Amino acid sequence: MDKGNTYEVKDLKLAEQGKKNIELAESHMGALLTVKRRFEKEKPLKGIRIGLALHVTKETAVLIGTLIAGGAEVAITGCNPLSTQDDVAAALAKEGVRVWAYKGESKEDYYRYITSVIAFRPHITIDDGCDLVSEIHKRHTQLIPEIIAGCEETTTGIIRLKAMEKDKALKYPMIAVNDNKTKHLLDNYYGTGQSTIDGILRATNVLFAGKNVIVAGYGSCGKGVSMRARGFGANVIITEVDNFRALQARYDGFAVMPMTEAVAKGDIFITVTGDKHVLRKEHFQAMKDGAMLANSGHFDIEIDLEGLKAISKDVRRMRPFLDEYTLTSGRRVYVCGEGRLVNLAAAEGHPSEVMATSFCGQALACEYAVRNRGKMRPDVITLPEEIDDRIAALQLQAMGITIDQLTPDQKKYLSSWEEGT
């Protein structure tokens, strides 16, 4: 480990590689770069301290560059023990950014680093999964009067925040960046769709064509994963607990059945529910020999690994990010990425293009928070639709795509009721 006053990273010598990867990411993040150029001129975040607990990836580094261009000071740690890209963390540390993160963090280091970000006394928090906000509310409430707002990146974080809001435990406003259309309908769908398959391939190099792939959860992430798995020639089966989502899955052409039934058919299982113990003892026991399990939901509890260990007589690491569990029955089950977000543990997370729009959401949410300082209630709030629309327009522009505009006559027609049959 390399340590200094403002950083703790794996190896500073990786910085040069990290810098190149950040450059590559930047070249696909046109929308965010447009925001960065405006921020450089207008400095909307001048004097603002922003504390982040986000996956420390090359795309996050581009977000950090954007916030700094806007005049902010930043401090960052990871939001998952296996998602940090060590070269990127090193590059950030070399550039003087406060950063505490390494891939494979212990739970103790994970929370120690969150405490370092909290000690920076952020005016704005940016979270992916709500751990930073949760720590501030549990142990550092004295900081709350100084905090303008928080921004949350993922579905699981929003679920936790809404529970806090319901219990009247939320003490500062939280902007649900995940709820932007340009986030959950692009990042969760196209991002998780591609990068989850990428993670499984890097961990196993298994052929998807002809396999039965069971996808648990048909939300934005599950839809993306199912679509991509089908694209690879897999036979996709969906499990759900929500009637409407199950119906959608069926109409999209997938078989739908309970896990107890799917379990005997599956070659590859992918959980993307945000729920716990979606795969558990009774399921493992009924799986085929050689079944492969991966999770792309936020926490590592979707696959009950304790339950799996309890019915296993042997566990071997076969290669990085692939563990073999031999059950007492003699059948083997393979777990990718220790049951953590497989796309970040075994691959590089989402492609830069989708992170461009997700992180425009974060940058513009910070600007919105500063502009509306003191005016927002301590609730979970969504950004105005106009901001979401602007983000889509920026990315289209970056991709050189133009679209039609409504004629005045069409505008009138679409906002009136008189014209009919």
Ligand X SMILES: NC(=O)c1ccc[n+]([C@@H]2O[C@H](COP(=O)([O-])OP(=O)(O)OC[C@H]3O[C@@H](n4cnc5c(N)ncnc54)[C@H](O)[C@@H]3O)[C@@H](O)[C@H]2O)c1
φ, ψ dihedrals at 182, nearest 5°: -75, 0
Choices 9-17, 266-274, 325-333, 391-399; region in contact with ligand X by CB under 6 A:
266-274
**Does 396 participate in binding ligand X (rule CB under 6 A)?**
no
**Does 58 participate in binding ligand X (rule CB under 6 A)?**
no
Q: How far is CA 59 from its chain centroid? A: 12
Q: Could you tell me which residues are beta bridge partners of residue 174? A: 150, 380
**Does 83 participate in binding ligand X (rule CB under 6 A)?**
no
Q: Which is nearer to ligand X, 48 or 262 (CB)?
A: 262
Contacts 24+ apart (CB under 8 A), 320-329: 320/203, 320/346, 321/199, 321/202, 321/203, 321/345, 321/346, 322/203, 322/204, 325/284, 327/284, 327/285, 329/285
**Does 249 participate in binding ligand X (rule CB under 6 A)?**
no
**Does 181 participate in binding ligand X (rule CB under 6 A)?**
no
**Does 297 participate in binding ligand X (rule CB under 6 A)?**
yes
**Does 132 participate in binding ligand X (rule CB under 6 A)?**
no
Q: Which is nearer to ligand X, 57 or 116 (CB)?
A: 57
Question: Can you tell me which of 150, 173, 274, 361 binds ligand X, judged by CB under 6 A?
Answer: 274
Range 303-322, binding ligand X (CB under 6 A): none
Rounded Cα–Cα distance for residues 310 and 40 (Å): 55
**Does 60 participate in binding ligand X (rule CB under 6 A)?**
no
- Are 262 and 246 spatial neighbours (Cβ–Cβ below 8 Å)? no
**CB of residue 3 to ligand X, shortest distance in Å:** 29
The CA-based angle 92-360-104, given to 5 degrees, is 40
- Give the pair of three-digit tokens for residue 216: 């648990």
**Does 57 participate in binding ligand X (rule CB under 6 A)?**
no
Q: Which residue is it, tokens 């569990």? A: 325
Q: Which is nearer to ligand X, 177 or 272 (CB)?
A: 272
Question: Can you tell me which of 275, 280, 288, 390 binds ligand X, judged by CB under 6 A?
Answer: 275
Range 343-362, binding ligand X (CB under 6 A): 343
Q: Which residue is it, tokens 């990425």? A: 337
**Does 221 participate in binding ligand X (rule CB under 6 A)?**
yes
**Does 134 participate in binding ligand X (rule CB under 6 A)?**
no
Q: What is the chain's percent helix, strand, coil content, to nearest 5?
A: 45, 15, 35
Q: Which is nearer to ligand X, 241 or 311 (CB)?
A: 241
**Does 240 participate in binding ligand X (rule CB under 6 A)?**
yes
Rounded Cα–Cα distance for residues 141 and 157 (Å): 19
Site residues for ligand X per CB under 6 A: 154-156, 184, 188, 192, 216-222, 239-242, 245, 272-275, 278, 296-298, 341, 343
